Structure 1
Amino acid sequence: MNTISTHTLANGLRIIHCPSPTDVVYCGYAINAGTRDEKDNEQGIAHFVEHLLFKGTTHRRAWHILNRMENVGGDLNAYTNKEETVVYSTFLKQHFIRAAELQTDIVFHSTFPENQIEKEVEVIIDEIQSYEDSPAELIFDDFEELIFPEHPLGRNILGKPELLRGFDSEDALRFTHDRYKTSNMVFFVLGNIPFRKVVSTIEKLTRDIPAYLTPIEGRTTPLPYTPHSLTLNKDTHQSHVMIGTRAYDAHNSRRTGLYLLNNILGGPGMNSRLNVVLREKNALVYNVESNLTSYTDTGVFSIYFGCDQEDKDRCIELTMKELKKLRDNMMKESQLSAAKKQIIGQLGVASDNFENCALDMGKCFLHYNRYEEKEEVYKRIESITAQELLEISNEILNEDRLSTLIYY
């Protein structure tokens, strides 16, 4: 990555830009609005709004939105998660103004036409049904519901069909009016576009968008964590198992240490400890992984595997043994050095994916108001000590803190 440039417009919209050597540009709006901002009777509306952004604005109909980037070989996309909605494009650099104008139009001027809603709701319901047919995906959402009970972070992003069928244009307009404010979003660009041109273009496109002085409604903090174990009969061929707990938030200084520990335990490397013991040595699973998700005020650490029904208890036993080893034994310097080298290499390879870098840059600037160059991240990883990892293991991987969810 090259030198990062930032600017804040008079209306509060933040801009972040990073040059790149190719003719392909990635840019978009990262909006601090997601599932956790929904009220109880609004479950699924953040994702519903994301779908409807493409269905009409005060300037365009759905067909014109659909074709605007496609006609020049570009791409227009969006996604919603627990804390963000992101609208972004990929295109050749000569089409930057076209892309920026289209994105600004759908983010700030969408009308959510009634005649499009019923069709799009059925599309989302098909998405829900497809998701429910995949226990290996569904279990992740059910696990977050287990550790964030009665809280928006525990909700499925897609929502509930009975609520979706009740949403209308006014609901979507109210949600965007409350959350899609200039002070609550970032415009990000990764590409070979002069920074001055980026700023002047976005300034011109958003000159009719005022700064909102009223504060945005705050997010509720999850209740104190209590571990739970739950077994559900899903009539699946395999047993699907999740083991995990709440973890560090995105601002916690120990998050990097847990990130490294997660990579050692069940990261993408074939040499991760859980992959070695469950797959390579004992041939009990096809896939095992551990994951760390950090939200702005909490986090989730989890382990997932699928196995034959009769192997479930053995897999859980072996997993618990690996966690105990991390709690009881300080890592040797040679092991720690190898683990650091591996994760730094993985990050370096990942940084060659410009689309992921652009999305990461937008998300980081949205929440931290800064973006770390990868060299800064490498330094933080290199500074982690074996003692710190031991302390993190005993805090996060403590058996008394772990929740378990099993499908069978």
Structure 2
Amino acid sequence: MAYSTFTLPSGLRIIHTTSPTNVAYCGFAIDTGTRDELPQEQGMAHFVEHLIFKGTRKRKAWHILNRMENVGGDLNAYTNKEETVIYSAFLKEHFDRAAELLADIVFHSLFPSNEIEREVEVIIDEIQSYEDSPAELIFDDFEELIFPDHPLGRNILGNPELLRQFTSEDAQRFVHRHYQPQNMIFFVQGDIPFSKVIRTLEKVTADLPLFNGEKQLRTQPAAYRPRQLTLHKDTHQAHVMIGGRGYHAYDERRTGLYLLNNILGGPGMNSRLNVSLREKKGLVYNVESNLTSYTDTGTFCIYFGCDPHDTARCISLVHKELKRIRDKSLTSLQLHAAQKQIIGQIGVAGDNFENNALNMGKCFLHYQTYEEKEEVFKRIESLTTSQLLDIANEVLAEDYLSTLIYQ
């Protein structure tokens, strides 16, 4: 997938690629998430993402809501620990409308006081709904376990007590610190000439200041120490997380860990953990492994839910599979099959234009380039059994892993 890039005088970087459909996608990927909040700002990044749609210097919330919906388009956003993304999907003839609206809400939102109280209650409802789902909540508690006293260990939604104290001025201070054009990407995927994209962005961001060269600094997490924790919850199932720190986004070994993760607990029903715990033993409904690469660290974790009486047995089976992958190299046939499977999964996932657009924005935000799928395939195909064995013995070593249990 060929792409074009351009940097405006303000420092705003643009990345663009074409697509063969009449639907286009564009948005801002901002290098700011919950790890960039000050201690008293916990939940502010997500709070800003909600309130950014509630009014600008020239639009009320109702006008923002209807601007894209009136032409059948969609306006959306999400926040994670290192990025905030605000984007739109629309028919390609409405690109100017989408770009102007997105620039307005990203750079000119007012966070009106009369909207805050109502939206805070919406976020608190979201928090309560999340807390009612232990299968989701345990992921946040696990990151708190392996990133103690660090912003990466905080949950994204925030703290209700702090949320009720946030003001318009608090939100504006956070945005002023982080929503700077040199700290973001504008991405476009659609059948739109790149020259038109540049002209439109120059027009809708003409009032932005020039690049000032400032860049936010992030605090790296302290050295990792494995921990074991059991929390007593009023749930019918036991919920378990086993894992530790993984590789950061710029570590070449992350590709090998990505492949090992897929072998162990990826989406395929033939993953080793699914075969061991579900297909052979019938002990769990769902078992999965996941990894996340942040800019300076990462996580690897295995999750399952089971009957409380089966917790110890399931944990033992997980460690058995981890030991097997540490102790015994994959055969050439097993390696080839694993590579073929994950390449197929990436290819199928890449058939979603919206996901492609979001992924392009995120990649360019952090890597200053966009890696074609074919380049990813080459990295996967170049992996050797000895490389995978070294990674397994480093990241999946039993004495390196932390365990969190809800029961």
Matching of residues 26-45 of structure 1 within 5 Å: 26-45=25-44
Tell me, in whole angstroms, the C-alpha distance in 2 between the residues paired with 1:339 and 1:53.
43
What is the TM-score normalised by the length of structure 2?
Answer: 0.99
- 2: CA distance between counterparts of 1:47 and 1:374? 31
Summarize the alignment of residues 88-99 of structure 1 with structure 2, pairs less than 5 Å apart: 88-99=87-98
Match of 2:238?
239
Matches within 5 A, 1:275-294: 275-294=274-293
**3-state SS, counterpart of residue 59 of structure 2:** coil
CA distance in 2, matches of 1:211, 1:285: 56
SS at match of 1:230: strand
SS in 2 for 1:129: helix
Q: Letter of the aligned partner of 1:338 in structure 2?
A: A
Equivalent runs, 1:369-408 vs 2, <5 Å: 369-408=368-407
How far 1:216 moved relative to its partner?
3.0
The Cα shift of 1:21 comes to 0.2
Runs of 4 or more consecutive aligned structure 1 residues displaced over 3 Å after TM superposition: none
Offset from partner CA, 1:272-331 (integer Å, 9 cap, x none): 000000000000000000001000000000000000011111100000000001110011
| 8 Å contact kept, 1:4–1:17 | yes
Q: Which residue of 2 aligns with 1:220?
A: 219
- In structure 2, the partner of 1:251 is 250
SS in structure 2 at match of 1:292: strand
- Classify the secondary structure of the residue corresponding to 1:118: helix
| Aligned counterpart, 2:99 | 100
1:132-211 alignment to 2 at 5 Å? Answer: 132-211=131-210
SS at match of 1:210: coil
Q: Is the 8 A contact 1:183 1:211 kept in 2?
A: no
SS of corresponding position for 2:32 = coil
Write the distance in 2 (CA, Å) between the matches of 1:53 and 1:73.
Answer: 21
**How far, CA to CA, are the matches of 1:236 and 1:245 in structure 2?**
25
What secondary structure sits across from 1:54 in the alignment? coil
- Asked whether the 8 Å contact 2:6–2:14 carries over to 1, the reply is yes
Structure 1 letter corresponding to 2:272: R
Q: Which residue of 1 aligns with 2:323?
A: 324
Quote the offset at 1:207 in angstroms: 1.1
Pair 1:305 & 2:304 matched:
yes
**How far 1:211 sits from its partner (Å)?**
2.5
Q: Which residue number corresponds to residue 87 of structure 1?
A: 86
- The 8 Å contact of residues 11 and 210 in structure 1, kept in 2 or not, is answered as yes
Q: CA deviation at 1:213?
A: 1.4
Matched with 2:24 is 25
Hey, what's the Cα distance between the residues in 2 that align with 1:225 and 1:212? Answer: 37
Q: 1:2-30, CA deviations, whole angstroms, 9 ceiling, x for partnerless residues?
A: 31111111111000001000000011000
Letter in 2 for 1:268: P
Q: Secondary structure at the match of 2:85?
A: strand
1:147, 1:228 within 8 Å by CA — same for their partners in 2? yes
Residues in 2 aligned to 1:3 and 1:298: alpha-carbon distance in whole angstroms:
30
Aligned residues of 2:9 and 2:211 also touching (Cα < 8 A): no
Does 2:358 match 1:359?
yes
**Equivalence for 1:4:** 3
Following superposition, the deviation at residue 41 of structure 1 comes to 0.4
CA contact (8 A) 1:178 1:216 kept: no
Amino acid at match of 1:143: F
Secondary structure of the structure 2 residue equivalent to 1:55: coil
Supply the AA of the counterpart residue of 1:276.
Answer: V
Structure 2: which 5+ residue stretches go unaligned?
Answer: none
Deviation digits for residues 68-96 of structure 1, max 9, x if unmatched?
A: 01111110000000000000001100100
CA–CA separation in structure 2 for the residues paired with 1:105 and 1:357 = 24
Give the aligned residue type for 1:336.
L
- Structure 1 letter corresponding to 2:241: M
The runs of 5 or more residues in structure 1 that have no matched partner are: none
Instruction: State the identity as a percent.
Output: 72
**Structure 1 equivalent of residue 262 of structure 2:** 263
- The one-letter code matched in structure 2 to 1:155 is R
Deviation at 1:194, TM superposition (A): 0.7
